[in-house]
Amino acid sequence: MMKQSLSMVGGLALLASTLVGSGCAKRVESDTRPSPESIAQYYPLAVGNAWTYRIDGRDDKPVTVEIVKEQDGYFVDNQGGQLTVDAFGLRDPKRYLLRGPLEAGRGWNNVVSVSSTERYQLVQVGFACKVPAGSFPNCVSVEGRNKVDGQTTLVNTMTFAAGVGLVRVDVATEHEGKRVPQTELELISYKADAAVPAPN
């Protein structure tokens, strides 16, 4: 499941968003303009930056995502993922993964196909989190939800640390109010130089 998801979208941030819904982008909602610099600190985008993750608590098959080039306004990683920070937030070509203002409870929608809308919400802002790569004092947590059918919802929770990037991803299914964990990714090491704004 993990290998297939990485090849479908590329990059761990994109893996997370893919697991909560895929399809062709139609429209990304826009309403307020946060400071791009404040969002950019939560996913430093610069060629050479790299993040290594363990999957489901296993250390034997780590996955490394490294930014290898800039192309068409996006930073492209070795998994084929594409990310940029614009005037509204951190995004891939189909959806916003993190949007401002960074306030708990703030939400936004990404319409990724005619029949699929992903719903995102900032769950926590400014909290401390700990993963194998270390303890980080300034984190934000985003929950993405996408209905699979009338009874099942895919729930993807991403945790970003300021100055570091994506440190944790938890993917679960929710059925009749019960949440069942599916995949867990945790950062074990990283190299994250300061973010470089992509051209708009």
Q: So what's the pLDDT on residue 200?
A: 47
pTM listed for this prediction: 0.80
Q: Is 176 a residue whose pLDDT tops 50?
A: yes
> Distance (Å, rounded) from C-alpha 42 to C-alpha 65?
16
pLDDT at residue 72 in the model: 94
Residue pLDDT, tens place only, 106-139: 999 988 777 778 999 999 999 999 999 999 999 9
List Cα–Cα distances, 154 to 31, 52, 140, 174, 180, in angstroms.
Answer: 25, 24, 20, 6, 10
Q: Which CATH number fits domain 36-191: 2.60.40, 2.40.360, 1.20.120, 3.40.1000?
A: 2.40.360
Distance CA 26, CA 108 (A): 15
